[in-house]
Chains A and B, each alone.
Chain A
Amino acid sequence: MVNITNLHKKFNKNKVLSGVNLEIDNSGIFAVLGPNGSGKTTLIKSILGMVIPNKGKISVLGKDIKHSSAYRHQIDYLPQIANFPSNLKVKELIKMIKDLRGKTKMDLELIKRFKLEPFLDKKLGTLSGGTKQKVNIVLTFMFDSPLIILDEPTTGLDPISLIQLKELIQSEKSKGKTILITSHIMSFVEEVSDEIVFLLEGQIYFKGSTSALKIKTNEQDFERAIASILKENHA
């Protein structure tokens, strides 16, 4: 699905990724974790082609992504901060993205699921953070792509919407899709993810299941296991 070899990226003098090798072949939910500034978003944006790597190769579904844009038809991406053009109505934004990417009917179901009907005629600039995130989720999930990338999907969501989101993620997984998630909410990660990819100082420190991580760090609790990695490497 996604193949990354020897990925390097620096912004000016700040080295963010230094030799990341990652192979995700099967379907399932993969959580990309790491402390702030460890390069999670840079990694994700490199896969999307928004960040251009200094060195290394990325291929999605067996094709090198360099100089290509069509491969993004196979990716649904939920950006970290839902910043939309503020003078556009919700309805218009959905219509526009459909116009750019192709036809779909899944948006109606998603709008119902997240109870967005009353907001359809409102301008995006007037929406609250949580509602914007719901619109963001609708835009992401309304296309049936084999690879889904979610950057901090839980930001601003109320408990009901959070449950809806988890159900949605599970139902997409059952369709055999690959889902990449970054999040700082450890309980959410532990609940949904099948495998963890832990980034530290621009490299992959650990890749495996949550139980394997607990064994490796000798901790019972997932959150503590993560914390112990961080402590070890800062001491």
Chain B
Amino acid sequence: MLKILKYSFFDLMRSRWSYVYFAFYLLLGIVLLFLNNDLSKAVITLMNVIIILVPLIGTIFGVMYYYNSKEFTELLLAQPLKRSSIFLGQYLGVALSLSMSLILGLGIPFIFYGLFQSSAIWDFSLLLVTGTFLTFIFTALAFNMALSNENKIKGFGYAILLWLFFAIIYDGVFLMSLILFEDYPLDKLSLVGTMLNPIDLSRTLILLKLDISALLGYTGAIFKKFFGTNFGLITSLSMLSLWVILPVLRIVFKAKRKDF
């Protein structure tokens, strides 16, 4: 698996798009720091960008990489390699190179700005950790969609729909259900609802870390009570890990049964 990972990773590192992605974050980081001059405000703006953009890029890159490397995959399948190691190697290659673009692209300007002397370092690290989680989650989901669909257009379409669902539609449905059932106690329900969507979960995690939960009113207080504790943090991080593990298991399962 490590050999496949190595080849996929270097293949992507040589591609133009990795540099574009890296340069984008570099630029974003620099612009935010110079226009804002306030580290924690920059982190909030970054969060808003990351929460939507990272899953989208993970989805697009994952699907594109799978379909574009089809020939390479077929070449590998005839070699004495396990199917699971071929696909996991490719998946990790994509996810790692994307995460690296994100971490380096944002990290470099912030280090120059003096992140290590600032108190925002934990908020910033949490931002990068959730960003990396989101990359791994959505790349895995994209691989799932691509593996299940022979047709490129369909696979691409479903993957984008999945992103759209988690990024936008889910929130809408969630909000509607909260309004619909407003006569009932909803704190448990909204907690569970937040946990079930990796994008919402990441957003809540960062927002509460930034101590602006007061803006969220009563719900914010309940959320703070849960997410603010170590137990909440650990639960959220394990939930995010579960969001990585389950799609990855399905990649292995699907890959074993697929005809090429």
A joins B in a complex:
yes
Interface residues, chain A, with chain B CB atoms under 8 Å away: 11, 45, 48-52, 69-73, 75, 77, 79, 83-85, 87-88, 96-97, 99-101
What are 9 A-B interface contacts by the 8 Å CB criterion? Answer: A52-B258, A70-B80, A84-B71, A85-B69, A87-B15, A96-B7, A100-B3, A100-B81, A101-B80
B78 within 8 A of A: yes
A-B contact count (CB 8 A): 57
Report how far A79 CA is from B76 CA in the complex, Å: 11
Provide the residues of chain A in CB contact with B82, threshold 8 Å. 69
B14 at the interface (CB under 8 A from A): yes
Q: Is the CB of B259 within 8 A of A48?
A: no
- Known A79-B78, A87-B14: A69·B83 in contact at CB below 8 Å: yes
Shortest distance in angstroms between B192's beta carbon and chain A's nearest beta carbon? 39
Given A79-B74, A85-B71, A99-B3, A72 contacting B79 (CB threshold 8 A): yes
Range for the number of chain B residues in contact with chain A:
20 to 34
User: Is B11 positioned at the interface, with any CB of A under 8 Å from its CB?
Assistant: yes
With A50-B74, A83-B71 in contact, do A69 and B11 touch (Cβ < 8 Å)? Answer: no
Which B residues have a C-beta under 8 Å from some C-beta of A?
3, 7, 11, 14-15, 69-72, 74-83, 257-260
Cβ contact of A51, chosen from B70, B81, B259, cutoff 8 A:
B259
Nearest B residue to A49, CB-CB: B77
Which residues of chain A have C-beta atoms less than 8 A from B83's C-beta?
Answer: 69
Rounded to whole angstroms, the CA-CA distance of A45 and B74 in the bound complex is 11
Nearest CB on A from B234, distance (A): 37
Which of chain B's residues have a CB closer than 8 A to the CB of A100? Answer: 3, 76, 79, 81
Q: Please, how many angstroms separate the alpha-carbon atoms of A19 and B77 in the complex? A: 25
User: CA separation between A96 and B83, bound complex, in Å?
Assistant: 18
Give the residues in chain A near B78, CB-CB below 8 Å. 48, 50, 72, 75, 77, 79
Q: Using Cβ atoms and an 8 Å threshold, which residues of chain B touch A77?
A: 78
User: Which residue of chain A is the closest to B80 with respect to CB atoms?
Assistant: A72
User: A49 — which chain B residues lie within 8 A by C-beta?
Assistant: 77
- Give the 10 A-B residue pairs with the shortest CB-CB distance, closest first: A83-B71, A72-B80, A77-B78, A85-B72, A73-B80, A51-B259, A50-B260, A69-B82, A50-B77, A100-B79
Q: Which residue of B lies closest to A48 (CB)?
A: B78
With contacts A85-B75, A101-B80 known, what are 18 further pairs, Cβ within 8 A?
A11-B259, A50-B78, A50-B260, A70-B80, A72-B78, A72-B79, A72-B81, A79-B74, A79-B75, A83-B74, A84-B71, A84-B75, A85-B71, A97-B75, A99-B3, A100-B79, A100-B81, A101-B79
